[in-house]
Amino acid sequence: MIEAVVFDLDGVLIDSEQVWDTAREKLVHERGGRWHERAQRDMMGMSSIEWSAYMHDELGVPEPPAEINDEVVRRMIDLYRERLPLLSGARAAVERIASRWPVGLASSSNRPIVELVLELAELGPFFRATVSSEEVGRGKPAPDVYLEAARRLGVPPERCAAIEDSHNGIRSGHAAGMRVIAIPNRDFPPDDEALVLADLALDSLGELTPEVVSG
């Protein structure tokens, strides 16, 4: 029986992957690094500690990872303040689900970005618990961020549903023992090996209803 629902943020509620890609790739080029076609996919779901180290070690950005993280976050905040790419149906979906269960957020984004998005989208009051992967030991596909969200909600993870869009996110929710509902990212779809781990796949947020979540 489902007793709580945990949303991912990037790719589920906001169309952000291209924004992250733009901010990171521009920084890599500015610093004389070497961007490659696998970079975006490799970093999807990583915690800030993990992707900033990746940008330093694999993409050749010379600054220390902590400085890389701070600069990317600054650029993301500026871009979101210019235009928040809230996905169609995001607010309505959160309202529908929050009317039935306690709702949490398990995001790979940094805490300042999570707070800004919820403020700009006016979604903060709906979420009883929010977790950034920088607050746990490992980013997705490890289960840490979902397990922490369940702990903060006070609900066993096996009684939670995770709403995800990406290969690493689906793996993370599944590893946490949650019922995983996938809404595949159209631009960066999850691979088949990850998608098969989802309990259900939907085409859009418009299909996300309490009845669907309950199964």
Query: Would you name the residues annotated as active-site residues?
Result: 8, 10
What single string gives the DSSP state of each residue in 148-189? Answer: HHHHHHTS-GGGEEEEE-SHHHHHHHHHTTPEEEE---SSSP
The length of the chain in residues reads: 215
CB 55 within 8 A of CB 65: yes
* CA distance linking residue 116 with residue 99, whole number of Å: 23
Helix axes 167-175, 144-153, angle to 10 degrees: 50
* CA distance linking residue 147 with residue 155, whole number of Å: 10
SS (H, E, C) 94-124: HHHHHCCCCEEEEECCCHHHHHHHHHHCCCH
- Assign residue 11 a region (left: φ > 0; alpha: ψ between -120 and 50; beta: otherwise): left
